[in-house]
Amino acid sequence: MKLTDLTTKQRISLASLGFFALLGLVIFLVAAPLIRQIRNDGLELSAKKKGIELLYQDWRVLESSRKEYLKIEGELNSLPTILPPGEALKFIMLIENIAQSTNNQQEVSVISSNTKEKNDQPIDFQITLRGDFSNLIKFIAYLENAPYYNEINSVQIKGLSDKDIQSIKEGERANLAAGDITSTLKISVYQ
């Protein structure tokens, strides 16, 4: 069959079919890869945007921490590194503040105190904390960064059961739950 033997209607149909086949081939070879590339670029842009948002959030947290540090820097620098004799109460108040800020319940007692007026003898404290394990870790981190030179001599940790919680005084068990811990720290603060 020759092209000249076809009717006009058949030629138009054949030309239309050829045109649509050529158009489909162009779309398949040109437009589809462009659309894929646009979609991949959009996903990459979205990932970069999320990364920038996370970086901005981290920057805001860092900036707020810096402002908070600047606010308390004077107070930190005004405290001495060695506990002055007769000022054990300041250290106990510091321990109470740290325990409160880390959501721990605390009991502080002095194990031994130097009765002599020697400045090189430490004061030994026993600190009992109740709370969860992450709060204990926060407490230890704060204690390590405390302005007074101190040393943790021992740490004992015991899990609290429902029975243990029931044996604690009514007012002290408010924020405790099964799975929390009781920890006893023995520390020395140097004078």
Q: Are strands 123-131 and 150-159 parallel, antiparallel or unpaired?
A: unpaired
Whole-number Å distance between alpha carbons of 50 and 29:
32
What pLDDT does 126 receive?
93
Q: What pLDDT is stored for residue 88 in this prediction?
A: 80
Q: Does residue 187 contact residue 154 with C-beta atoms inside 8 Å? A: no
Q: What is the structure's pLDDT at 110?
A: 86
| pLDDT tens per residue across span 125-173 | 999 998 888 888 989 988 888 878 888 999 999 887 777 666 665 555 5
pLDDT at 166: 65
Q: Give the single-character DSSP code of 190.
A: -
In terms of C-beta density within 10 A (0-12 exposed, 13-18 middle, 19 or more buried), how is residue 184 classed? middle
What pLDDT sits at residue 156? 92
Q: Would you state the pLDDT for residue 77? A: 62
For the chain, the domains span 1-78, 88-189
Provide the CA 114 distance to its chain's centre, in angstroms. Answer: 40
Topology of the domain comprising 88-189: Alpha-Beta Plaits (3.30.70)
Comparison of pLDDT for 38 and 113, the residue scoring more? 38
Whole-prediction pTM value?
0.52
H helix runs in the chain, sequence order: 8-26, 32-78, 88-101, 133-144, 162-167
Q: What pLDDT digit, counting tens, does each position of 73-102 carry?
A: 766 666 557 777 777 888 888 899 999 988
C-alpha distances in Å from residue 29, one per residue of 15, 17, 26: 21, 18, 5
For 28-64, the DSSP string reads: IIIIHHHHHHHHHHHHHHHHHHHHHHHHHHHHHHHHH
More reliable by pLDDT, 93 or 121: 93
Q: Kindly report, residue by residue over 14-73, the tens digit of the pLDDT.
A: 889 999 999 888 888 888 888 889 999 999 999 999 999 999 998 998 888 888 888 777
